[in-house]
Amino acid sequence: MCDASDFAIGCTLMQHDHEGCDRVVYYQSRQLKPAERNYPVHDKELLAMKYALANFRVYLLGSRPFVIYTDHASLRTAVKSPHISQRMVRWLSFFAEYDFWVEYKPGRLNVVADALSRRPDDAVKTADANWIGVERVSAPSSSLIDDVKAAYASDAAAKQLLNYASAPSDEARRKLTPHLRAPQ
Residues 6+ away with beta carbon under 8 Å from 25:
13, 14, 15, 59
Whole-prediction pTM: 0.58
Angle CA(50)–CA(56)–CA(59) in degrees, nearest 5? 135
CB contact at 8 A, 8 and 119? yes
Please report, for the chain, the start and end positions of each structural domain, with discontinuous segments joined by +.
Answer: 2-122, 142-180
SS3 assignment, position 97: coil
- For the domain covering 2-122, report its CATH number: 3.30.420.10
Residue-level pLDDT, tens digit, the chain, 184 residues: 788 888 889 888 988 888 888 888 888 889 999 999 999 888 888 899 999 999 999 988 887 899 888 877 766 666 667 777 888 889 888 888 889 888 887 766 555 545 555 555 555 555 555 555 555 556 666 787 788 888 888 888 888 888 888 888 888 888 888 877 776 6
